[in-house]
Amino acid sequence: MSKNKESHPIEYWVNETKLPNNLSTTLKFQEKLNYTFLLTGSTGYLGAFNLKDLILNEKCQRVYCVVRSYQSFDHCKQMLKDSIHKTTAQPFGDQHLDKIYPVKGDLTKFQLGLSSLEYEMISDQVDIIISVAAQVNFSSPYKKSKITNVDCVPRLLELAVSNKKSLKRIVHVSTMAVFFDDKEIIENDNDLPLLEKLNGKSGYFQSKAIAEYRYKEASNNGFEILLIRSPGLFCNGENGYGNNSDLFQLGIKTCLIEGKTGDCKYIPNFNTAPVDWFSRVMIKMTIDKNVWIEPFNAFNPSDSTYFREYMQMVGNEFSLPELPMEEWLEFVKNSNHPTTQITLSIIKYLGYTLTKFNAPMSIKTKDYLKSINEYDGHKITRTMVFKYIYASFFFKSKL
């Protein structure tokens, strides 16, 4: 077993799920005509789409963005503007961009690394906290991953009750990858990952699972927590803007770089959806005053997202020979290309866990997606795949 894949007695994992200081509250969230948000992870891939969808929403008054690599207000605001311009060709007016307010912070530190003045300002003004920031390195052990993914939970909860006039709602983005066993069929959105199955998994998966338990305890203690589990996030359906941390997209790029595809037979149905669809759903749920405050699995409900189907599509388009997966892995393992190295490192740490995942969508989730007109926006299409390839490699293909 890799030294980066930690294993501990079940008592250790149970202890990790416990919230420190018995955090609880009797405060209530106040519904308003418009809201002020705190967004963590705004400089990341999903965070840029969240920020775009927030500032375009009429119910959003302001978005405070926690930025760790803060140089100056103007520099950070321009950086955030540049990030959201990558997500769409839609023009933004000053009435939208003026909603963005970057603050210097660090989720791993006391009071989120904010100055006393800014912490007090945010405590007074923010209504909803959207927690997107995460340490997503699959090769990191749990002890390193938890610094960002687990230890920040009580800090955000403390912020949620820092203003004694009202409770701040917390929206936490988790991942469908917390479920990684074919015998662990998800029957409803309230299911939590099983602690006894955490040993030997990626530290990222372990930390995201533990964070869910902490937020579940917080929910039982009076906090309003909306936990949304994300699928794999494919490119933006509008312009092909992609995510270099996603295995699906990395796999496509690696096949094109190396000139051969793998048959992907041991990767059956892979839950993935366009990032712009997921972000829209997420922000609609965040602002929907009628939404339930409990876990919600927002992923692709169709059975069409098969790695092999898409790899064959790419292979046929560019006349790439297909190898059995083991031969393909052997073929590319000596490559010095950084994209190939990242792809191989993720496959190495995931191993064959991708074969052990089955997550049927609940009727509740289907009905909700239909009610907000988002049930048909989740599919990965051929056009989308080649938009991603065009955006990544700058050459034309048949759409």
Residues 220 and 118 in one domain: yes
pTM of the full predicted structure? 0.92
Q: Are residues 229 and 330 in the same domain?
A: no
Give the whole-angstrom CA distance, residue 399 versus residue 394: 14
Residue 108 lies in a domain: yes
Same domain, residue pair 121 and 200: yes
Is 255 in contact with 325 (CB distance < 8 Å)?
Answer: no
CB atoms within 10 A of CB 369: 22
State whether residue 7 is helix, strand or coil: coil
Residue 368 in domain: no
- 118 with 38, same domain? yes
Within this chain, do residues 120 and 254 fall inside the same structural domain, yes or no?
no
Q: Give 322's strand partners.
A: 261
Please tell me whether residues 105 and 226 are part of one structural domain. yes
Query: Which among 144, 145, 154 is positioned nearest to 207, based on CA atoms?
Result: 145
Q: Which domain holds residue 283?
A: 10-21+31-234+273-297
Do 224 and 258 sit in the same domain of this protein? no
Alpha-carbon distance 364 to 327, whole Å?
A: 43
Residue 327 located in a structural domain:
yes
* pLDDT tens for the 399 residues of the chain, in order: 456 678 999 999 999 999 987 789 999 999 999 999 999 999 999 999 999 999 999 999 999 999 988 889 999 999 999 999 999 988 899 999 999 999 999 999 999 999 999 999 999 999 999 999 988 887 789 999 999 999 999 999 999 999 999 999 999 999 887 876 644 555 566 778 889 888 988 888 899 999 999 999 999 999 999 998 888 889 999 999 998 788 889 989 999 999 999 988 766 566 788 999 999 999 999 999 778 766 777 654 444 456 778 888 999 999 999 999 889 999 999 899 999 998 888 777 666 555 555 555 677 788 888 899 998 877 888 899 999 999 888 654 444
Count of domains observed in the chain: 2
Please report, for the domain that includes residue 16, its CATH number: 3.40.50.720
Residue 189 inside a domain? The answer is yes
Distance of alpha carbon 122 from alpha carbon 129, whole angstroms: 10
Q: Is residue 374 part of a domain?
A: no
Percentage of residues of the chain with pLDDT beyond 90: 58
Spatial neighbors of 12 by CB under 8 A, at least 6 apart, are none
Q: Cα-atom radius of gyration of the chain, to the nearest Å?
A: 21
Same domain, 76 and 214: yes
> How many DSSP H helices and E strands does the chain contain?
15, 11
For residue 367, being part of any structural domain is answered with no
CA–CA separation, 122 vs 208, rounded Å?
26
Alpha helices in the chain (DSSP H): 10-16, 45-55, 73-85, 94-97, 116-125, 142-149, 152-160, 203-220, 247-258, 275-287, 307-317, 325-332, 338-350, 363-371, 382-393
Task: Please tell me whether residues 175 and 324 are part of one structural domain.
Answer: no
Cβ atoms of residues 328 and 311 within 8 Å = no
